[in-house]
Structure 1
Amino acid sequence: MNAGLNEMLAQAFAESTKLYQERGFQRRVGFGKKPALINVDLANAWTRPGNPFTCEHIDDQIIPGVQRLLAACRENNHPVIHVTTCYQVTDRNNPHTDMGLWHNKIPVDVVDQADENLWAIDSRIAPIKGEQVLIKKRASSFHGTYLAGFLRAAGVDTILVTGVTASACVRTTLCDGLAEGFRTIAVRECIGDRVPGAVAWNLFDIDAKFADVESVDRCVDYLQTVKG
């Protein structure tokens, strides 16, 4: 993000913080007793170059951070859910497509379920035995999926969310997670987007309304200290 945009956002955040705090926003939801890690759309179509959905800071920031979170979860037996997106019917003229109407806004038709390489989880953070791989059709990881039921059955009360994008699938997952009754934590360094400024703005706004934005260091410490 260029210095000029960063400076403008910092000024906007400072002014917005005053307003929010005067009106009672930016409260803390806090960590609970039983966490799960939800990695949103960290599949090849989003993490590897050359795709319409390719995001920034995958190699230098997001993947290394998620690797640390995965190590802490696996060491302490915390549930891990890898979320990806793909479609069985990518013909935009077919009224029975599982893309719904979303293809009228963004090119979800490129993520054809027949091409597993596109929607497979990035090999650098590949699922291991016992970890869930969940396919979604819409932005939120909760919309039309078994995620909430799975988490409740496992006794989870806190979700740590990573992935892409801050402005869409990560944001809606956090919003729906809070609505479903889970303590929502957005892992700052492990969330990305394609558009300059989108991560900074969305994380600021999410922290004010829908989740606590915490550093990867703080989240790893939490995962290492809470019992699985």
Structure 2
Amino acid sequence: MEGVDTKELDRMLHQAFDTASKLYKERGFARRVGFGKRPALVSVDLANAWTRPGNAFTCDQDKMDNEIIPGMQDLLKAFRAKNLPVVHVTTAYEITDREAEFTDMGLWHDKIPVDVVNLKDEELWAIDDRIAPVDGEYTLLKKRASAFHGTELAGILRANNVDTILVTGVTACACVRQTICDGIADGFRTIAVKEAIGDRVPGAVAWNLFDIDAKFGDVETVKTCVDYVNKL
């Protein structure tokens, strides 16, 4: 983000996290939910509107190209080798006229530009071809921040005996966070994959991962997650 010293911001955030971590641990937060026996990879909004430049939803391109996509590629390789469930989540709307009397956008378009993700333009909501779905993987279309809200996700995971979800994607402060919060509320062990989660705003990833790790799931590295899958 122009004008922001990201290194200094990161230093200040982690200084604050060190202090907050002591408070959380003293009060019994930051416990471990741990990995279960059968995981699914849930990738949130790693579609072109978010992963490529030129859209209102475009996220940090340096992190996207050098961390998130390579991290996803490593995770996909591990999941595919074990024939484990993979769900690619994306977002699009059919009625994008903000003045329409009826629309599938709800009221969210009054806050953010969801109207730019039009279902008719498949290129926008298609999963980035660097991590494109293969046969046997599911692409889920959502309308709200959480991949669980109003969708079939929980039912599909339970029907496939999934007890753990490894969550990746964007954005840390909204769709990823909401998916993780709903995931643990629905009884799944929630793992946020550290290097494979991004945002548009400096500091948003670090803050949200810190807070998620304290209250809603475990934050683990790509390497730890890949090692876990490989050992299943």
Using the size of structure 1 for normalisation, the TM-score is: 0.98
How is 1:83-162 mapped onto 2 (pairs within 5 angstroms)? Answer: 83-162=89-168
SS at match of 1:223: helix
Q: Which amino acid in the other structure matches residue 123 of structure 1?
A: D
Give 2:72's match in structure 1, choosing from 66, 70, 74: 66
**Other-structure match for 1:20:** 24
C-alpha displacement of 1:211: 0.5
Tell me how large the CA RMSD over aligned residues is.
Answer: 0.6
C-alpha displacement of 1:95: 2.6
Distance in 1 separating the partners of 2:83 and 2:10: 39
Q: Which amino acid in the other structure matches residue 51 of structure 1?
A: N
Q: Which amino acid in the other structure matches residue 230 of structure 2?
A: Q
Distance in 1 separating the partners of 2:35 and 2:138: 22
Distance in 2 separating the partners of 1:178 and 1:74: 24
* Structure 2 residue 228 is matched with structure 1 residue 185: no
Give 1:33's match in structure 2, choosing from 22, 37, 43: 37
C-alpha displacement of 1:32: 0.1
Structure 1 residues 164-208: Cα deviation after superposition (integer angstroms, max 9, x where no partner): 000000000000000000000000000000000000000000000
Q: How many residues align?
A: 226
**Other-structure match for 2:54:** 50
Distance in 2 separating the partners of 1:6 and 1:115: 37
SS at match of 2:35: coil
Give 1:218's match in structure 2, choosing from 218, 224, 227: 224
Runs of 4+ in 1 over 2 A off after TM superposition: none
Q: Which amino acid in the other structure matches residue 8 of structure 1?
A: M
SS at match of 1:199: helix
User: Identical aligned pairs, as a percentage?
Assistant: 70
Runs (5+) with no aligned partner, structure 2: none
C-alpha displacement of 1:3: 2.2
Runs (5+) with no aligned partner, structure 1: none
Using the size of structure 2 for normalisation, the TM-score is: 0.96
* Structure 2 residue 93 is matched with structure 1 residue 76: no
How is 1:161-200 mapped onto 2 (pairs within 5 angstroms)? Answer: 161-200=167-206
